[in-house]
Amino acid sequence: MPTDITRAFIQAIPKTDLHVHLDGSLRLQTLVDLAREGGVTLPSYSDEGLRELVFKERYADLGEYLAGFAYTCAVLQTSEGLERVACELAEDNLAEGVRYLEVRFAPQLLAHDGFSMEQTIQAVADGLARAQRAHNTSEAVRTGADLPFECGIIVCAMRRFNKHMGAHYHQLLTALERAPRRDVYAIASLEMARTAVGLRDRLGLPIVGFDLAGEEAGYPAAYHKEAYHYAHSHFLKKTVHAGEAYGPESIFQAITECHTNRIGHGTFVFAADMVQDASVQSPPLYTEQLVEYIASQRITMEVCLTSNLQTTPSIPSVAAHPLRRMLEHNLSVSICTDNRLVSDTTLTDELELVSQNLPVTRHQFRNLVVAGFKGSFFPGSYTAKRAFVRQVSERYDALAARMLTPTEESA
């Protein structure tokens, strides 16, 4: 089954990461540094200790997987810390050949008195811009030996939250204590959408998308449809965490209620047995039509293999992951990391899992890589995006001709 697509080739080719959480992707040493600077207590201050106690190879459940975010979010509440982490994340991606990056995070998780949502986004934008400038002014880019680096920010609203998830949420829940929780969630997400659009239009920050993250089951995306309508009507592109811990109905709702352009994870898109709506007379037909719609509309699936294996016991291996069926149904799929620290992974690692565990042809692998660029929320014009995709394709093909053994398929 393993192809001749080597790790060296994967590292060399231009790649994208469309689904990576800033607060799940710190360098361990940076987490320790920022904790000491900010007086945040960690269960260990060594790489080995943190890997053993917090950021593990395998997790018992999603709750254990998410536990580490309490520490990372605690140290990301200053402009200096956020700028540093954003810059380092961009540098780490650049080092392994990523040439388009979309960083997502929830500003409302980090904001507090004296540190606004606007300041959190500005700090992340500054950090990304620092890494981008350093790369794009290099001799390699100036001479055409390397591709430029493009990046953007996706702001996340949360499906649900409580008073312990941040000062901003605490204040909001206290002020609206008698309001139904679903209404408070909706108010917060609409506030986030308005802030994102305003900063994009007023300050020109590279905010390219709006996302909905957090606990899926029991907290439907429809609660947040007003926020998504606002983003949609202001030409802000949209993605939704859906089908990660719930079934096809969650994905259907993301498409019909939230006008989503992409789906975060989509792991249970084929799970007809998870359909609960009694009005659906034939769950298999419903699921089949949903998959065909996603394929025909080129709604890109942001697939995060390692993360899914760590949090979904029903998926014991890469070979058992629905990615294989996604490719068989010709869905637009982009391979992503989700959380580089929490899942101890890189984009190279994720693509190597594909090449070594699934029966992908060279042509399919190329499509998988290029799909990330095509499905991106590119911050420039559509004309500029097409030109960038052409550059990527040409560079990919040149590297394939030089690094891969000629075959009948490539002839």
Beginning with the edge strand found earlier in the chain, give each strand of the sheet holding 150-158 in spatial order. Answer: 15-21, 98-105, 150-158, 207-213, 237-242, 262-265, 300-303, 333-335
In which element (H, E) is residue 410 found?
A: none
What are the structure tokens assigned to 78, written together? 């200053």
Neighbours of 95 (CB within 10 A): 11
| 245 neighbors 217 (Cβ within 8 angstroms) | yes
Choice among 83, 102, 216, 244 that is catalytic: 244
Which of 397, 337, 393, 344 minimizes the C-alpha distance to 370? 393
Report which of 372, 346, 384 is spatially closest to residue 100, judged by C-alpha positions: 372
CA 55 to CA 345: how far, in whole Å? 11
Exposed e or buried b per residue across 326-352, where buried means at least 16 C-beta atoms within 10 angstroms of its C-beta: bbebebbbbbbbbbbbbbebbbbbbbb
- Whether 139 is a known active-site residue: answer no
DSSP state string for 137-154: TSHHHHTTSS---EEEEE
Query: Which neighbouring-strand residues pair with 105?
Result: 155
The SS3 call for residue 75 is helix
Catalytic residues, by residue number, are 244
